[in-house]
Structure 1
Amino acid sequence: MTDRAVLPPVLVMGVSGSGKTTIGEAVAVALAERGQPTTFVDADDLHPAANKEKMRRGIPLTDEDRWPWLDACAARIVAVEATGSRCVMANSALRRVYRDRLRASVPDLVIAFLDGSHALIAERQAHRHHEFMPPSLLDSQFATLERPQPDEAAVAVSIAGPVDDTVTAILAALEVTSG
């Protein structure tokens, strides 16, 4: 098993419909299968009711809506890591300042950016139901998205193929071996 220092907490990020929950859960399972205690956290579960209602009505969140939520997300990562479990969190983290806010509390956070075209994600959204994130917000998600930069300890992973391919690419980036 690779040393803990090589396995920092992981943020699986991308626009709504990119597969953050599916991929994040699969990464957490794969790490656990390799003997790394791992906890998956879906940041959507940490949104306050007011944020969920706003999105349900098709209204994009503002930065002011997001700051307390991001702080709750960072606190959850820190709490999970304090138990000795690896944290894998699904979180949109669309802007650099959002990722910076998380890294203020979790400096070793590694980012797996789920990279896909607008057309691919729109097609996937057409075949799913989300509790409070309607497909009508996809354009605002892409308008807000700031792709992670090289200095952000991030890897961009294509979501065009099967889930297993995306998970394998993330695990390779985390230097996790199958042995």
Structure 2
Amino acid sequence: MTDAAPELTHFRDGQPRMVDVTDKAPTTRSATAEAWVRLPPEARAALTAGTNPKGDPLVVARLGGLAGSKRTADLILLCHPIPVTGADVEVTLEDAGVRVQATVRTTAPTGVEMEALTAATVAALNVYDMLKAASKAIEITGVRLLSKTGGKSGDYRAG
């Protein structure tokens, strides 16, 4: 017995396609993602002293993450544009660096994992942009999905 190759959802006859979710019922869904921005000492000093000439990186990052959640379908090629019905982006300075946590919610026929991941990543990029004058050695790491609820695949929580 041979194993059949799995059907590729985003390709048909070797060509990329957007999965058709027309017949799927809208359900309430949410996803939470995080990203970390590792700060070298000079970038951390600029942030904590409030001497960054561009302004407060954490506030700008939060706004950037919120905007990013709504622009995901413009950036992820086969992602469905969905209504983002709620989004929260927390940007906090911790010992390990700046932690970004983004939660996105919708009622739609497809999930919001990509919107949450995009929100976290865009927020982290905004931290970099705001502090790059202090150091080019800033690192964005640890972008991952923390949890999701709703949809056919059920709930997920990172270990």
Same fold (TM over 0.5): no
More helix by share: 1
More strand by share: 2
Larger radius of gyration: 2
TM-score normalised by structure 1 residue count: 0.26
TM-score normalised by structure 2 residue count: 0.28
